[in-house]
Structure formats: structure tokens, C-alpha cells
Amino acid sequence: MSRSADTWILTAQCPSRLGTVDVVTRFLKESRCYITEQQSFDDHHGERFFIRTEFRPLEPDFDAEAFQAAFAARAAEFEMAFELTAPDARMPVVIMVSKADHCLNDLLYRYRTGQLPIEIRAVVSNHPDLQPLADWHGLPYYHFPITAETKAEQEARVWEVVEETGAELVILARYMQVLSSDMCEKLSGRAINIHHSLLPGFKGAKPYHQAFEKGVKLVGATAHYINDDLDEGPIITQGVEPVGHADDPEDLVAKGRDIECMTLARAVDAHVARRVFLHGRRTVVFSR
């Protein structure tokens, strides 16, 4: 279901406690706000409650600051952390790439056509190859080469771009470098990576060729938040595509690219729509 142009988003989480749904819905009713969509989840293992609500103010003079101040007083009783997102919010983003262009091209198309409510502030790469694509879209392109000896310096320059652009999300759209522990910590909860996910798992060079040799019947991709464990961060979305004995390695690569694009786009969309809650090493993801 697409979000209406005039709806706000209220997201919150707190310890599991009686009345958590009521404190949200009752407050919205008293504030003359009509709920258009609501999803909640209570993790009885972790004793943690999560809720996401879209609503439309019925009064034309809706005051977001007054709303947040009043709700904070109610939420305090439940130790509830919350966030209010305006209808016209567009999340500032920096995209990191290497040489592969399929994920970047897909994100740029969705950005240009308004499918993703983001504002791409810059594209950063360790190679110059994709600058023409960024130039065509009128986006700043930063080429920061990297070697084992210059890794710390290169990441410092990347971090400068993130800070200067005010990026709230960093998208690793097939950025083929492992981020340092320090960079992972700085970007915790706000950097999404995409990688191939095949059954069984294939690491190293030419994963789709390895998959072909093993006769796999599925190719896939996983989009996840980065952390200090390589390709093992909290998962946001996953996708799979069936393949058969008639598919050669090039077919697997092509199908793999398609599913990588789709899976990454879904993860970015879920993040910017505030449908994802980090919950330890896991995520709570409310479906669209």
C-alpha cells in the first residue's frame, strides 16, 4: 500500500507493557488524527514492543512540535522512544560504489522517478568508472582510490563527505571494499549493504560461476545493515530467483544482478519509510 501524500509517520519502541498500543491510538484520537495504517509487534523473548503508525491530521493547523511535546509526556510512562516523520520528508543519502553499475543505476532511476523518498547528496567510489553516470544525473562524484596503506586516509575522506552532506543513510551499492571497524561503528544503523546470497554460500571471486559448477537451483541477494562481521549484519530484506540446468554462468550473473537491485531497493524503501527497527543483531521489519 502506497503512503498518502498527507500522512505523517509515528514510530516508537519501548519495554513490553500493558497499554502500549492504547497510549498511541488514544493520543492520536484526542489529537484529532485519523490512523490510516498501523502495525505493531511484541517480542516476548526480548520483552520489547514496536509500533509504526501512519496518520492524517484532521485539523489544518497541525503543530508537529506541540504534538511531539504532548506525546513525550504520555510516552515517558512507558519509557517509549519515538520519532515523528513529516509527509514531505526525503532522507539525505550518500551512495558508495566500485565498478558495477547495476545497483547504482537502479537507485538513480527510482530516485529520478520519485519511487524512493530520498535526496542523493553524493556518489563516492574507489574507482572513476561510474562518474559519467553520476554526472548525467547532476550528482557530485567523489573518487577516492584505496590501497591497504591508504585505507584509513580514504575512509576519513569518505566520512567527511557523509558529514558535509548531512547524509542520514549510506548505501553500499556493490561497494567492493571491507569497511574498517571504526567506520562500521560510525555508520551503525544507517548504512545498508547488498551482497549475493546463494545456496550454498559461495565466497570469493566469481560466486555465480561457483554456483553454476554446483548446479544451484536458486540465486539470491541479502540487504543488511553493516557491522563489524563481514556480510553478517542485521538483515532487512532478502530475495531469490529460481534458475535451472539450462542457465549458464552469464545467465546466473544477469539474474543475480536483477535480484540484487530489487532487494536493495526494497531495503532502502523500508528504511526511509521507517519500517525497520534494529533489535540487537536482528531487525523488526513491518511490511508495506
Give CA–CA dist 177/188, Å, rounded.
Answer: 17
Contacts for 238-241 with beta carbons within 8 Å, 24 or more apart?
238/197, 238/263, 239/263, 239/266
Which three cell numbers mark 236? 532487512
- Please pick, among 129, 231, 251, 258, the residue that the annotation labels catalytic: 231
CA 124 to chain centre: 17
Partner residues linked to 114 by β-bridges: none
Give CA–CA dist 254/259, Å, rounded.
Answer: 9
106 is an active site residue: no
Catalytic residues, by residue number, are: 231
